[in-house]
Amino acid sequence: MMSIAERWKLDQEISAALRERSRTATYVIRNIVADNPGRRGLKTSQVLRRLRTMERRGDVERVERDYLVMLSWRIAPKHADTGAAK
């Protein structure tokens, strides 16, 4: 289980990945974050859980895609102006 500090750091890394690419699938976000030092064992399911938590907080939102099973995400409009998810 991740500590609060680890979850916060992962949320920041996910936000940075979403700022790099505006509309991004969950697995792509995982691949970008996994390139960071110390994140090699990161699972897509962990990223998905954090994204769903961030969605409930209003930091990110799901984006409609042609594929039903592939979830894509973007920074929520309220955070797009500042470029940072809190």
Q: Cα–Cα distance between 65 and 62 in angstroms, integer? A: 9
> How many domains would you assign to the chain?
1
Instruction: Sheet containing 24-25: give its strands across.
Output: 24-25, 72-75, 60-63
Q: What is the pTM of this model?
A: 0.84
Asked whether residue 84 is assigned to any structural domain, the reply reads no
Asked whether residue 86 is assigned to any structural domain, the reply reads no
| Percent of the residues in the chain that have a pLDDT greater than 90, as a whole number | 69
CATH number for position 26: 1.10.10.10
Asked whether residue 17 is assigned to any structural domain, the reply reads yes
Average pLDDT for residues 41-68, to the nearest whole number? Answer: 92
Q: Identify the domain containing residue 64 by its residue range.
A: 4-79
B/e letters for 27-63, b = 16+ CB within 10 Å, e = fewer, are ebbbebbbeeeebeebeeebbbebbeebeeeebbbee
Say whether pLDDT at 54 is over 50: yes
